[in-house]
Structure 1
Protein backbone atom coordinates (compact mmCIF):
# COMPACT_ATOMS: atom_id res chain seq x y z
CA UNK A 1 0.00 0.00 0.00
CA UNK A 2 1.31 3.42 -1.01
CA UNK A 3 1.05 6.14 1.62
CA UNK A 4 0.48 9.71 0.46
CA UNK A 5 3.01 11.85 2.29
CA UNK A 6 1.91 15.19 0.85
CA UNK A 7 -1.41 16.82 1.66
CA UNK A 8 -3.78 17.53 -1.18
CA UNK A 9 -4.48 21.17 -1.98
CA UNK A 10 -7.28 21.38 -4.50
CA UNK A 11 -6.37 24.98 -5.40
CA UNK A 12 -3.43 23.85 -7.53
CA UNK A 13 -5.58 21.43 -9.54
CA UNK A 14 -8.21 24.14 -9.99
CA UNK A 15 -5.59 26.47 -11.48
CA UNK A 16 -4.51 23.80 -13.96
CA UNK A 17 -8.11 23.00 -14.86
CA UNK A 18 -8.99 26.66 -15.40
CA UNK A 19 -5.91 27.19 -17.56
CA UNK A 20 -6.75 24.14 -19.68
CA UNK A 21 -10.40 25.23 -20.02
CA UNK A 22 -9.12 28.52 -21.43
CA UNK A 23 -7.20 26.58 -24.07
CA UNK A 24 -10.46 25.00 -25.21
CA UNK A 25 -11.98 28.48 -25.44
CA UNK A 26 -8.95 29.56 -27.44
CA UNK A 27 -9.20 26.79 -30.04
CA UNK A 28 -12.96 27.32 -30.32
CA UNK A 29 -12.33 30.99 -31.13
CA UNK A 30 -9.74 30.01 -33.77
CA UNK A 31 -12.37 27.78 -35.37
CA UNK A 32 -14.81 30.71 -35.38
CA UNK A 33 -12.17 32.98 -36.87
CA UNK A 34 -11.80 30.73 -39.90
CA UNK A 35 -15.53 30.66 -40.69
CA UNK A 36 -16.82 32.63 -43.70
CA UNK A 37 -18.38 35.94 -42.68
CA UNK A 38 -16.87 35.85 -39.18
CA UNK A 39 -16.52 39.10 -37.22
CA UNK A 40 -12.74 38.80 -37.29
CA UNK A 41 -11.98 41.85 -35.14
CA UNK A 42 -14.42 40.84 -32.40
CA UNK A 43 -13.18 37.24 -32.31
CA UNK A 44 -9.55 38.36 -32.24
CA UNK A 45 -10.30 40.73 -29.34
CA UNK A 46 -12.06 37.94 -27.42
CA UNK A 47 -9.03 35.73 -27.96
CA UNK A 48 -6.80 38.44 -26.49
CA UNK A 49 -9.13 38.59 -23.45
CA UNK A 50 -8.83 34.82 -22.97
CA UNK A 51 -5.04 35.13 -23.18
CA UNK A 52 -5.07 37.86 -20.52
CA UNK A 53 -7.25 35.64 -18.33
CA UNK A 54 -4.72 32.83 -18.74
CA UNK A 55 -1.91 35.19 -17.71
CA UNK A 56 -3.86 36.08 -14.57
CA UNK A 57 -4.38 32.39 -13.74
CA UNK A 58 -0.66 31.74 -14.16
CA UNK A 59 0.28 34.64 -11.88
CA UNK A 60 -2.16 33.41 -9.23
CA UNK A 61 -0.67 29.93 -9.50
CA UNK A 62 2.84 31.31 -8.96
CA UNK A 63 1.61 33.30 -5.97
CA UNK A 64 0.02 30.16 -4.55
CA UNK A 65 3.30 28.22 -4.93
CA UNK A 66 5.29 30.98 -3.25
CA UNK A 67 2.92 31.16 -0.26
CA UNK A 68 2.50 27.40 0.24
CA UNK A 69 4.72 25.57 2.68
CA UNK A 70 3.91 22.18 1.16
CA UNK A 71 2.77 21.49 -2.42
CA UNK A 72 1.03 18.37 -3.83
CA UNK A 73 4.07 17.63 -6.01
CA UNK A 74 7.44 19.23 -6.80
CA UNK A 75 7.37 23.02 -7.01
CA UNK A 76 9.54 22.98 -10.13
CA UNK A 77 7.01 20.73 -11.87
CA UNK A 78 4.12 22.96 -10.82
CA UNK A 79 5.93 26.01 -12.17
CA UNK A 80 6.77 24.21 -15.40
CA UNK A 81 3.26 22.89 -15.99
CA UNK A 82 1.71 26.29 -15.30
CA UNK A 83 4.20 28.01 -17.59
CA UNK A 84 3.70 25.52 -20.42
CA UNK A 85 -0.09 25.84 -20.29
CA UNK A 86 0.36 29.60 -20.57
CA UNK A 87 2.75 29.13 -23.51
CA UNK A 88 0.07 27.25 -25.45
CA UNK A 89 -2.36 30.12 -24.95
CA UNK A 90 0.25 32.63 -26.12
CA UNK A 91 0.64 30.75 -29.41
CA UNK A 92 -3.13 30.44 -29.92
CA UNK A 93 -3.57 34.17 -29.35
CA UNK A 94 -0.71 34.91 -31.75
CA UNK A 95 -2.41 32.89 -34.50
CA UNK A 96 -5.65 34.83 -34.06
CA UNK A 97 -3.94 38.21 -33.96
CA UNK A 98 -1.82 37.52 -37.04
CA UNK A 99 -4.79 36.28 -39.07
CA UNK A 100 -6.64 39.47 -38.20
CA UNK A 101 -3.79 42.00 -38.45
CA UNK A 102 -2.47 40.56 -41.72
CA UNK A 103 -5.98 40.47 -43.19
CA UNK A 104 -5.58 36.79 -44.12
CA UNK A 105 -9.23 35.99 -43.43
CA UNK A 106 -10.04 38.19 -46.45
CA UNK A 107 -8.55 35.57 -48.74
CA UNK A 108 -11.15 33.60 -50.75
CA UNK A 109 -10.37 30.78 -48.32
CA UNK A 110 -7.64 29.84 -45.90
CA UNK A 111 -5.49 26.85 -46.91
CA UNK A 112 -7.16 23.56 -46.01
CA UNK A 113 -4.14 22.64 -43.91
CA UNK A 114 -4.73 25.61 -41.59
CA UNK A 115 -8.16 24.19 -40.75
CA UNK A 116 -6.61 20.76 -40.24
CA UNK A 117 -4.04 22.08 -37.76
CA UNK A 118 -6.67 24.09 -35.88
CA UNK A 119 -8.74 20.89 -35.63
CA UNK A 120 -5.70 19.09 -34.18
CA UNK A 121 -5.25 21.92 -31.66
CA UNK A 122 -8.92 21.69 -30.70
CA UNK A 123 -8.55 17.96 -30.01
CA UNK A 124 -5.37 18.53 -28.01
CA UNK A 125 -7.07 21.25 -25.97
CA UNK A 126 -10.03 19.05 -25.09
CA UNK A 127 -7.74 16.16 -24.16
CA UNK A 128 -5.69 18.46 -21.93
CA UNK A 129 -8.78 19.90 -20.25
CA UNK A 130 -10.05 16.38 -19.52
CA UNK A 131 -6.67 15.29 -18.14
CA UNK A 132 -5.97 18.14 -15.70
CA UNK A 133 -8.52 17.09 -13.03
CA UNK A 134 -6.98 13.59 -13.07
CA UNK A 135 -3.69 14.99 -11.79
CA UNK A 136 -5.16 14.81 -8.31
CA UNK A 137 -5.24 11.00 -8.41
CA UNK A 138 -2.55 10.48 -11.07
CA UNK A 139 -4.80 7.80 -12.60
CA UNK A 140 -5.81 7.16 -16.21
CA UNK A 141 -3.35 9.69 -17.62
CA UNK A 142 -1.24 7.55 -19.97
CA UNK A 143 -3.83 7.56 -22.76
CA UNK A 144 -3.81 11.36 -22.59
CA UNK A 145 -0.10 11.86 -23.26
CA UNK A 146 0.05 9.08 -25.86
CA UNK A 147 -2.87 10.57 -27.80
CA UNK A 148 -1.59 14.12 -27.43
CA UNK A 149 1.76 13.07 -28.88
CA UNK A 150 0.01 11.27 -31.75
CA UNK A 151 -1.96 14.42 -32.51
CA UNK A 152 1.24 16.47 -32.48
CA UNK A 153 2.62 14.18 -35.18
CA UNK A 154 -0.59 14.69 -37.15
CA UNK A 155 -0.19 18.44 -36.77
CA UNK A 156 3.42 18.21 -38.00
CA UNK A 157 2.28 16.41 -41.15
CA UNK A 158 -0.36 19.08 -41.82
CA UNK A 159 2.25 21.80 -41.20
CA UNK A 160 4.64 20.27 -43.75
CA UNK A 161 1.85 20.03 -46.32
CA UNK A 162 0.94 23.66 -45.59
CA UNK A 163 4.52 24.69 -46.37
CA UNK A 164 4.38 22.73 -49.63
CA UNK A 165 1.20 24.60 -50.58
CA UNK A 166 2.60 28.00 -49.60
CA UNK A 167 5.70 27.54 -51.75
CA UNK A 168 3.84 26.00 -54.69
CA UNK A 169 3.22 29.34 -56.40
CA UNK A 170 -0.47 29.40 -55.47
CA UNK A 171 -0.03 32.58 -53.41
CA UNK A 172 1.83 35.82 -53.97
CA UNK A 173 5.11 36.35 -52.11
CA UNK A 174 3.69 38.72 -49.46
CA UNK A 175 0.84 36.36 -48.60
CA UNK A 176 3.33 33.51 -48.32
CA UNK A 177 5.42 35.48 -45.81
CA UNK A 178 2.37 36.32 -43.73
CA UNK A 179 0.93 32.82 -43.85
CA UNK A 180 4.30 31.26 -43.01
CA UNK A 181 4.35 33.22 -39.75
CA UNK A 182 0.85 31.95 -38.92
CA UNK A 183 1.89 28.41 -39.83
CA UNK A 184 4.89 28.59 -37.49
CA UNK A 185 2.67 29.72 -34.60
CA UNK A 186 0.23 26.88 -35.32
CA UNK A 187 3.06 24.35 -35.23
CA UNK A 188 4.45 25.93 -32.05
CA UNK A 189 1.03 25.54 -30.41
CA UNK A 190 0.92 21.84 -31.33
CA UNK A 191 4.43 21.39 -29.91
CA UNK A 192 3.48 23.30 -26.75
CA UNK A 193 0.56 20.94 -26.14
CA UNK A 194 2.98 18.02 -26.46
CA UNK A 195 5.32 19.67 -23.94
CA UNK A 196 2.41 19.90 -21.49
CA UNK A 197 1.66 16.21 -22.00
CA UNK A 198 5.32 15.24 -21.55
CA UNK A 199 5.46 17.22 -18.31
CA UNK A 200 2.34 15.49 -17.03
CA UNK A 201 3.98 12.14 -17.86
CA UNK A 202 7.10 13.18 -15.92
CA UNK A 203 5.02 14.20 -12.91
CA UNK A 204 3.02 10.96 -13.00
CA UNK A 205 6.19 8.87 -13.12
CA UNK A 206 7.71 10.77 -10.20
CA UNK A 207 4.56 10.41 -8.12
CA UNK A 208 3.91 6.74 -8.92
Structure 2
Protein backbone atom coordinates (compact mmCIF):
# COMPACT_ATOMS: atom_id res chain seq x y z
CA UNK A 1 0.00 0.00 0.00
CA UNK A 2 1.20 3.50 -0.76
CA UNK A 3 1.73 5.80 2.20
CA UNK A 4 -0.52 8.86 2.21
CA UNK A 5 -0.08 12.06 4.18
CA UNK A 6 -3.71 13.16 3.74
CA UNK A 7 -6.83 11.49 5.14
CA UNK A 8 -9.16 9.69 2.79
CA UNK A 9 -12.94 9.60 2.73
CA UNK A 10 -13.85 6.00 3.62
CA UNK A 11 -17.60 6.34 3.03
CA UNK A 12 -17.10 5.10 -0.53
CA UNK A 13 -16.47 1.59 0.76
CA UNK A 14 -19.86 1.49 2.47
CA UNK A 15 -21.55 2.84 -0.65
CA UNK A 16 -19.96 0.24 -2.91
CA UNK A 17 -20.91 -2.49 -0.45
CA UNK A 18 -24.51 -1.25 -0.40
CA UNK A 19 -24.63 -1.24 -4.20
CA UNK A 20 -23.32 -4.82 -4.35
CA UNK A 21 -25.77 -5.99 -1.67
CA UNK A 22 -28.57 -4.51 -3.76
CA UNK A 23 -27.37 -6.48 -6.78
CA UNK A 24 -27.41 -9.63 -4.65
CA UNK A 25 -31.05 -8.92 -3.81
CA UNK A 26 -31.79 -8.52 -7.51
CA UNK A 27 -30.12 -11.83 -8.33
CA UNK A 28 -32.38 -13.59 -5.81
CA UNK A 29 -35.40 -12.16 -7.63
CA UNK A 30 -34.01 -13.58 -10.88
CA UNK A 31 -33.79 -16.99 -9.22
CA UNK A 32 -37.36 -16.57 -7.98
CA UNK A 33 -38.45 -15.84 -11.55
CA UNK A 34 -37.29 -19.30 -12.65
CA UNK A 35 -39.84 -21.12 -10.55
CA UNK A 36 -42.63 -18.60 -10.87
CA UNK A 37 -45.89 -19.12 -12.70
CA UNK A 38 -46.59 -16.54 -15.44
CA UNK A 39 -49.31 -14.86 -13.38
CA UNK A 40 -46.90 -14.17 -10.49
CA UNK A 41 -44.15 -12.69 -12.65
CA UNK A 42 -45.53 -9.11 -12.72
CA UNK A 43 -45.14 -8.97 -8.94
CA UNK A 44 -41.51 -10.10 -9.25
CA UNK A 45 -40.95 -7.47 -11.95
CA UNK A 46 -42.41 -4.80 -9.68
CA UNK A 47 -40.12 -5.81 -6.82
CA UNK A 48 -37.16 -5.91 -9.19
CA UNK A 49 -38.04 -2.42 -10.36
CA UNK A 50 -37.90 -1.22 -6.75
CA UNK A 51 -34.49 -2.86 -6.33
CA UNK A 52 -33.28 -1.20 -9.53
CA UNK A 53 -34.43 2.19 -8.21
CA UNK A 54 -32.51 1.51 -4.99
CA UNK A 55 -29.48 0.74 -7.15
CA UNK A 56 -29.87 4.06 -8.93
CA UNK A 57 -29.99 5.80 -5.55
CA UNK A 58 -26.79 4.03 -4.48
CA UNK A 59 -25.05 5.06 -7.70
CA UNK A 60 -26.16 8.67 -7.36
CA UNK A 61 -24.92 8.67 -3.75
CA UNK A 62 -21.48 7.55 -4.94
CA UNK A 63 -21.38 10.22 -7.63
CA UNK A 64 -22.50 12.88 -5.16
CA UNK A 65 -19.81 11.80 -2.71
CA UNK A 66 -17.25 11.82 -5.50
CA UNK A 67 -18.17 15.35 -6.54
CA UNK A 68 -18.05 16.65 -2.97
CA UNK A 69 -14.84 14.92 -1.85
CA UNK A 70 -11.42 16.48 -2.25
CA UNK A 71 -9.55 13.33 -1.19
CA UNK A 72 -10.73 9.92 -2.43
CA UNK A 73 -9.57 6.43 -1.41
CA UNK A 74 -8.38 5.68 -4.95
CA UNK A 75 -8.47 7.29 -8.38
CA UNK A 76 -11.61 9.26 -9.13
CA UNK A 77 -11.88 7.69 -12.58
CA UNK A 78 -11.87 4.21 -11.03
CA UNK A 79 -14.57 5.17 -8.53
CA UNK A 80 -16.75 6.44 -11.36
CA UNK A 81 -16.08 3.35 -13.49
CA UNK A 82 -16.78 0.93 -10.65
CA UNK A 83 -20.03 2.66 -9.70
CA UNK A 84 -21.17 2.75 -13.32
CA UNK A 85 -20.42 -0.93 -13.91
CA UNK A 86 -22.28 -1.95 -10.76
CA UNK A 87 -25.23 0.10 -11.96
CA UNK A 88 -25.10 -1.61 -15.36
CA UNK A 89 -25.47 -5.03 -13.72
CA UNK A 90 -28.65 -4.00 -11.96
CA UNK A 91 -30.05 -2.36 -15.09
CA UNK A 92 -29.54 -5.52 -17.16
CA UNK A 93 -31.11 -7.80 -14.55
CA UNK A 94 -34.15 -5.55 -14.22
CA UNK A 95 -34.50 -5.33 -18.00
CA UNK A 96 -34.45 -9.12 -18.35
CA UNK A 97 -37.28 -9.58 -15.85
CA UNK A 98 -39.29 -6.76 -17.40
CA UNK A 99 -38.95 -8.28 -20.88
CA UNK A 100 -40.19 -11.66 -19.67
CA UNK A 101 -43.35 -9.95 -18.40
CA UNK A 102 -43.83 -7.53 -21.30
CA UNK A 103 -43.34 -10.27 -23.91
CA UNK A 104 -45.72 -12.56 -21.98
CA UNK A 105 -43.25 -15.44 -22.18
CA UNK A 106 -44.97 -18.65 -21.15
CA UNK A 107 -41.88 -20.78 -20.69
CA UNK A 108 -38.24 -19.78 -20.64
CA UNK A 109 -35.97 -21.93 -22.82
CA UNK A 110 -33.82 -24.60 -21.20
CA UNK A 111 -30.47 -23.07 -20.32
CA UNK A 112 -31.75 -19.77 -18.97
CA UNK A 113 -31.59 -21.26 -15.48
CA UNK A 114 -27.86 -21.80 -15.99
CA UNK A 115 -27.45 -18.18 -17.05
CA UNK A 116 -29.24 -16.97 -13.95
CA UNK A 117 -27.35 -19.33 -11.63
CA UNK A 118 -24.08 -17.91 -12.97
CA UNK A 119 -25.33 -14.38 -12.32
CA UNK A 120 -26.43 -15.32 -8.80
CA UNK A 121 -22.98 -16.72 -8.00
CA UNK A 122 -21.26 -13.66 -9.46
CA UNK A 123 -23.53 -11.47 -7.33
CA UNK A 124 -22.52 -13.36 -4.19
CA UNK A 125 -18.83 -12.97 -5.00
CA UNK A 126 -19.22 -9.27 -5.77
CA UNK A 127 -21.09 -8.62 -2.52
CA UNK A 128 -18.30 -10.38 -0.62
CA UNK A 129 -15.59 -8.48 -2.48
CA UNK A 130 -16.74 -4.88 -2.14
CA UNK A 131 -16.06 -4.58 1.65
CA UNK A 132 -12.56 -5.94 1.03
CA UNK A 133 -11.68 -2.84 -0.99
CA UNK A 134 -10.89 -1.21 2.36
CA UNK A 135 -7.76 -3.34 2.72
CA UNK A 136 -7.23 -4.28 -0.94
CA UNK A 137 -6.56 -7.83 0.27
CA UNK A 138 -7.90 -11.28 -0.59
CA UNK A 139 -9.38 -10.07 -3.87
CA UNK A 140 -7.36 -12.06 -6.41
CA UNK A 141 -9.58 -15.13 -6.14
CA UNK A 142 -12.62 -12.90 -6.62
CA UNK A 143 -11.68 -11.52 -10.02
CA UNK A 144 -10.31 -14.86 -11.21
CA UNK A 145 -13.56 -16.62 -10.33
CA UNK A 146 -15.78 -13.92 -11.85
CA UNK A 147 -13.78 -14.12 -15.09
CA UNK A 148 -14.24 -17.90 -15.04
CA UNK A 149 -17.97 -17.45 -14.51
CA UNK A 150 -18.17 -15.01 -17.41
CA UNK A 151 -16.50 -17.57 -19.68
CA UNK A 152 -19.07 -20.11 -18.49
CA UNK A 153 -21.84 -17.60 -19.21
CA UNK A 154 -20.49 -17.16 -22.75
CA UNK A 155 -20.70 -20.90 -23.39
CA UNK A 156 -24.23 -21.11 -22.01
CA UNK A 157 -25.28 -18.12 -24.11
CA UNK A 158 -23.97 -19.67 -27.32
CA UNK A 159 -25.76 -22.95 -26.59
CA UNK A 160 -28.97 -21.07 -25.90
CA UNK A 161 -28.76 -19.24 -29.22
CA UNK A 162 -28.14 -22.52 -31.03
CA UNK A 163 -31.14 -24.01 -29.25
CA UNK A 164 -33.38 -21.12 -30.26
CA UNK A 165 -32.38 -21.13 -33.92
CA UNK A 166 -31.97 -24.88 -34.48
CA UNK A 167 -34.76 -26.33 -32.37
CA UNK A 168 -37.65 -25.67 -34.73
CA UNK A 169 -40.04 -25.33 -31.81
CA UNK A 170 -40.19 -21.51 -31.95
CA UNK A 171 -41.62 -19.20 -34.57
CA UNK A 172 -39.66 -16.16 -35.72
CA UNK A 173 -41.37 -13.70 -33.35
CA UNK A 174 -40.80 -15.96 -30.33
CA UNK A 175 -37.14 -16.38 -31.28
CA UNK A 176 -36.71 -12.59 -31.38
CA UNK A 177 -38.32 -12.22 -27.94
CA UNK A 178 -36.34 -14.99 -26.28
CA UNK A 179 -33.08 -13.95 -27.93
CA UNK A 180 -33.41 -10.44 -26.51
CA UNK A 181 -33.91 -11.85 -23.02
CA UNK A 182 -30.92 -14.21 -23.13
CA UNK A 183 -28.78 -11.45 -24.69
CA UNK A 184 -29.61 -9.08 -21.82
CA UNK A 185 -28.70 -11.78 -19.28
CA UNK A 186 -25.39 -12.21 -21.10
CA UNK A 187 -24.82 -8.45 -20.88
CA UNK A 188 -25.28 -8.73 -17.11
CA UNK A 189 -22.56 -11.38 -16.99
CA UNK A 190 -20.28 -9.11 -19.04
CA UNK A 191 -20.96 -6.27 -16.58
CA UNK A 192 -19.95 -8.47 -13.65
CA UNK A 193 -16.66 -9.12 -15.44
CA UNK A 194 -16.13 -5.38 -15.99
CA UNK A 195 -16.60 -4.82 -12.25
CA UNK A 196 -14.04 -7.53 -11.48
CA UNK A 197 -11.58 -6.12 -14.01
CA UNK A 198 -12.00 -2.64 -12.50
CA UNK A 199 -11.33 -4.01 -9.02
CA UNK A 200 -8.21 -5.75 -10.31
CA UNK A 201 -7.01 -2.49 -11.88
CA UNK A 202 -7.61 -0.61 -8.62
CA UNK A 203 -5.70 -3.16 -6.55
CA UNK A 204 -2.76 -3.16 -8.96
CA UNK A 205 -2.56 0.64 -8.87
CA UNK A 206 -2.78 0.77 -5.07
CA UNK A 207 -0.29 -2.02 -4.39
Instruction: Give yes or no for TM over 0.5.
Output: yes
Is residue 176 of structure 1 aligned with residue 160 of structure 2?
no
CA deviation map 1:91-116 (0-9, x unaligned): 00000000111111x23xx2221000
Q: Distance in 2 between matches of 1:123 and 1:6?
A: 37
TM value normalised by structure 1: 0.95
Equivalent position of 1:75 in the other structure: 76
- The number of equivalent residue pairs is 205
* Unaligned stretches of 5+ residues in structure 2: none
Residue of structure 1 in register with 2:62 after alignment? 61
Task: Say whether the 8 Å CA contact 2:9–2:71 is kept in structure 1.
Answer: no
Per the alignment, do residues 120 and 5 of structure 1 end up closer, same or farther by CA in structure 2, a change over 3 Å counting? farther
- Structure 1 segment 1-208 matched on structure 2, within 5 A: 3-37=3-37, 39-104=40-105, 106-107=106-107, 110-168=108-166, 169-208=168-207
For residue 161 of structure 2, give the secondary structure of its aligned residue in structure 1. Answer: helix
Query: TM-score, length-normalised on structure 2?
Result: 0.95
Q: Indicate the SS of the match to 2:136.
A: coil
Deviations 1:55-109 (A, max 9, x none): 01111111101111100111111011001100110000000000111111x23xx
Runs of 4+ in structure 1 deviating by more than 2 angstroms, as ranges, are: 1-10
> Shift of the alpha carbon at 1:174?
1.2
CA distance in 2 between partners of 1:5 and 1:197 (Å): 29
Structure 1: gaps (5+ residues): none
Q: 1:5 to 1:120 in 2, by over 3 A?
A: farther
Provide the aligned C-alpha RMSD in A: 1.3
